[in-house]
């Protein structure tokens, strides 16, 4: 098998939509994406911040406040996937790159990496961008900054 080609990740699918059709609270995150915003939550009891947003805090707090995260950060870690799970393989060509972006306040988020022109490197500057897919679904991608 040849070495991975980079930047060939295809767009995700209705699987995302299926799993995003959830709750009123989660809808708020989706609405944020529509406006190009990445929303996280902060517990008003203990001050802990959550990305992905949580709607209850392990401290017991149920009053969490939304705030917008700066979409620029660094690549915390990465992988280039050559064998996809069956449900993903139907929608996405391999190889594809996934990574974790680190925002300010040490907040981390997992996503696909798009637009790589060289091997991903821990610590490289990246940003996260929302995107509407052909299917009408919303997704977000990690891209080199």
Partner 1 sequence: MAIPKVAIVGIGHSKYGKRGKLINEDIEGEKATYPAVTIRELAHESYFPALEHAGITNNDIKASVIGIAAEAFAGQGAAAALIADEVGIIGKPTMRVETACATGSTAIRTAWAQIASGQFDVMAAIGVETMTWVSTAYATELMSVAGDHRWEYPYGISFPTFYSLYAARKMAVDGLTRDQLSAVSVKSHYYGYYNKLAHLRRKVSIEDANQAVPIALPLRLYDCCLISDGAATVILANEEKAKEMSSDPLWITGLGCSSDTMRVTDRPNLTNLGGSVRAAEMAYKQSGRSPKDIDVAYVHDCFSVAEVMAYEDLGFCERGQGGKWAEERGPYIDGPGVPVNVDGGLKSKGHPLGATGIGQVVDAYKQVFGTAEKERQVPDAKVALCHNVGQHGQFVNVFILEP
> Closest approach of Cβ 36 to partner 1, in Å?
20
Residues near partner 1, by CB under 8 A: 1, 3-4, 12, 15-16, 19-20, 22, 26, 51-52, 76-89, 92, 95-96, 98, 100, 108-112, 120, 122-123
> Closest approach of Cβ 15 to partner 1, in Å?
5
| 3-state secondary structure labels for all residues of the chain | CCCCCCCCCCCCCHHHHHHHCCCHHHHHHHHHHHCCCEEEEEECCCCCEECCCCCCCCCCCCCEEEEEECCEEEEEEEEEECCCCHHHHCCCCCCEEEEEEECHHHCEEEEEECCCCCCCCCCCEEEEEEEECCCCCEEEEEEEC
> Closest approach of Cβ 110 to partner 1, in Å?
6
Residue placing its CB nearer to partner 1 in the complex, 26 or 67: 26
């Amino acid at each position: 098998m040849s070495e991975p080609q980079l930047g060939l990740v295809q767009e995700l699918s209705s699987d995302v939509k299926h799993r995003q059709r959830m709750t009123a609270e989660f809808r708020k995150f989706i609405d944020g994406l529509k406006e190009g915003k990445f929303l996280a939550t902060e517990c008003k009891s203990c001050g802990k911040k959550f990305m992905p947003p949580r709607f209850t805090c392990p401290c017991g707090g149920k009053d969490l406040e939304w705030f917008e995260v700066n979409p620029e950060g660094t690549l915390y870690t990465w992988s280039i996937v050559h064998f996809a799970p069956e449900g993903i393989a139907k929608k996405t060509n391999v190889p594809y790159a996934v990574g974790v972006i680190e925002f300010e306040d040490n907040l981390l988020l997992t996503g696909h990496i798009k637009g790589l022109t060289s091997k991903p490197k821990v610590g490289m500057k990246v940003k996260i961008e929302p995107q509407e897919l052909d299917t009408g679904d919303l997704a977000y991608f990690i891209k080199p900054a």
